[in-house]
Structure 1
Amino acid sequence: IFFPYNLPFFSLSFNLVVISLEKTNIISKPGDNVTLTCICNKRDLQLKNLRVYWQIADENCPVVHALISGQDDHSKQCIHFKNRTQLFWDRLENGDFSLLLLNVSHSDKHTYKCVVQQKYEITRVIYQAEVDLGLAASYSQPILSGPIRNSDSTGEEVTFNCRSGNGYPKPKVYWINKMDNSRLLPSELKIIPHADGTYSVFSTLKVKATSNMQIECSIENEMLQENLSANYTQQKQDNGTEIPEKKGRIAQAAGIVSIVILSGLLTVLICWLWRRRSSNLASYTGNE
């Protein structure tokens, strides 16, 4: 339970018994702007008689934003939220006291409470809402690397590496044998935190090579319900057979060499023809 900074404990406690609490959950990404919803569906609201408090459960700095008698009150606002909160002024008369929180960061992960009080003879709570703000960031597309095998390497231990980054919260990592969809245990798993609150993940899998390997690395972000995967199908290199990529490079090099040789031969031919023409022209002039 949160308490507005200038409302007596017993008064709010009494009103909480009869005022329902609407709860919502929001997930935002770091750097985004997010709207915390607080809509009071009461008739004949007069802003001059209202106090609206947005707050968090922090004894040292509970006030996120306050609206007193139709005016923003920043006197007790937590410095962490300075210049980062805005009400929608064109909606206030209709009871919409939703709060825009700018440039969300990991330190903004809180449960926010909106308390609307009405003051006539006495001050009483007429509405309250609670918004649970969670943060999440998508991981990058996983990069999976594996061995280029010889035909006789079946049974040997081979290593696969999978990495992804810039996500939040910590991910789940799965290695899957796509031949039978069985899960494989990683040999190593490192989750590295960064200064901005995001994580990078690096995982290694060591298995015995088979004649037809198909391995998948999957990175799951449960909060965003995202599952990104990368697949490996073995690249087989026999003793007498070159892999297509290498063949392509050799063919390209051979083509370049052929062009250079043809250009040289053409240059020699042109020079020979030019010298012959010049010689014939000189002989003709001498005869005259």
Structure 2
Amino acid sequence: MESCTRVPAILLWCLTIGCRLAWGLVGRLHGSVGLPCVHPQLPGPIEQFNVYWQQKIPGSEDLVVATLVNGLVHTGHVNEKFRGRSHLCPERVKTGNFSLTLTNLTHQDSGSYVCIVLWMKDHVTQLKDITAELEVTAGFSTPVVGDLTSAEHLPYGQERTLTCTSQGAGHLPRIIWISGDDNNEVQDGRVQQEVQQNGEIINVSSTITLNISSHLNILCVIVTKDGNVTSEPYKMVPPDEASGSHTLIVSLISGGVVAVVLVVILVRRRHIRRRPMYRAPKNQEL
């Protein structure tokens, strides 16, 4: 099914009054992107126009991405690389909108694209070309921290192993562990990293083994050239410390309850002592 991507009004305005006909666009890996090519004032009917979208390949022959022949979308000459992924909207081309939509983007789609519009009336007249620069990027997913240790509770001085996993594409990232208390890289413990690449998809993981001698507050950070992606903080309180805090809280609550009861008893006793004894009047004495 062909995609009819709407071109923003500001883009139509720029192309109409003659802005710089070169555009820098960014697409996401496996996503879609629209490459603009709009001629709102065609000098003749659409049947008199041929349109060719090509990807510029340095040092090699350009690749045909999409074509319009005598006003009709034609896919016969489209390069296999783009077949089924490049779309011109049949309805919009009638108004001079030859914008191209690329779907299921790959890193090989990055590069320069040119839209060539030819008026085929009495002789071939080439209208002004429109060039678009496309960069396909892929950021890594938010890393997830998990616990590989089988024991649910560990006493002081025992080791605990955490794992951090993420997925993305592009350049290989670096994985670091950060202390959530001071935002410094964790220097203690043993760290191992693993990278698996399946086509363009890169799966990365890192494990860190720490000796738990105090509370734990740690984050995993995926470091790439496009920026860093940080996990949610992973926090843990050692059982001894947690049980000590629990005992303290229970003691405080119990002590508070006892204190309230004692105060109530003392107040009631003082009230009873101060209450005057009732004596009947003499004329009512028996």
> Which digits, 9 at most, give the CA deviation of each residue in 1:206-256, with x for residues without a partner?
556552331111235665x673413222341339959x9xxxxxxxxxxxx
Question: In 1, are the aligned partners of 2:144 and 2:165 still within 8 Å (CA)?
Answer: yes
Aligned to 1:38: 37
Q: Distance in 1 between matches of 2:123 and 2:148?
A: 75
1:19 to 1:139, Cα distance in 2 relative to 1, 3 A: closer
Question: In 1, are the aligned partners of 2:71 and 2:94 still within 8 Å (CA)?
Answer: no
> Which digits, 9 at most, give the CA deviation of each residue in 1:11-34, with x for residues without a partner?
xxxxxxx9953213132242x444
Aligned to 2:262: none
Question: In 2, are the aligned partners of 1:216 and 1:230 still within 8 Å (CA)?
Answer: yes
Aligned to 2:155: 150
Stretches of structure 1 that go unaligned for 5 or more consecutive residues are: 1-17, 245-288
Question: In 2, are the aligned partners of 1:84 and 1:102 still within 8 Å (CA)?
Answer: yes
C-alpha displacement at 1:55, in angstroms? 1.1
Q: Distance in 2 between matches of 1:182 and 1:67?
A: 58
1:184 to 1:40, Cα distance in 2 relative to 1, 3 A: farther
Residue 23 in 1 paired to residue 27 in 2? Answer: no
Question: In 2, are the aligned partners of 1:157 and 1:206 still within 8 Å (CA)?
Answer: yes
Q: Map of 1:1-288 to 2, 5 A cutoff?
A: 20-30=20-30, 32-58=31-57, 59=60, 62-119=63-120, 121-136=123-138, 139=141, 141-145=143-147, 149-151=154-156, 153=157, 159-165=161-167, 167-169=168-170, 170-184=172-186, 187-195=191-199, 197-206=200-209, 209-219=212-222, 227-238=229-240
Question: In 2, are the aligned partners of 1:145 and 1:232 still within 8 Å (CA)?
Answer: no
**Deviation larger for 90-99 or 210-219:** 210-219
C-alpha displacement at 1:150, in angstroms? 1.7
Identity of aligned residues (%): 22
Q: Distance in 2 between matches of 1:190 and 1:79?
A: 35
> Which digits, 9 at most, give the CA deviation of each residue in 1:52-91, with x for residues without a partner?
2111124356111111321234343212222332211211
C-alpha displacement at 1:202, in angstroms? 0.9
Q: Distance in 2 between matches of 1:130 and 1:45?
A: 25
Question: In 2, are the aligned partners of 1:146 and 1:232 still within 8 Å (CA)?
Answer: no
Stretches of structure 2 that go unaligned for 5 or more consecutive residues are: 1-17, 247-286
1:61 to 1:240, Cα distance in 2 relative to 1, 3 A: closer
TM-score under structure 2 normalisation? 0.62
1:27 to 1:240, Cα distance in 2 relative to 1, 3 A: closer
User: What's the C-alpha RMSD, in Å, of the aligned pairs?
Assistant: 3.7
Question: In 2, are the aligned partners of 1:142 and 1:218 still within 8 Å (CA)?
Answer: no
TM-score under structure 1 normalisation? 0.61
Q: Distance in 2 between matches of 1:204 and 1:92?
A: 54
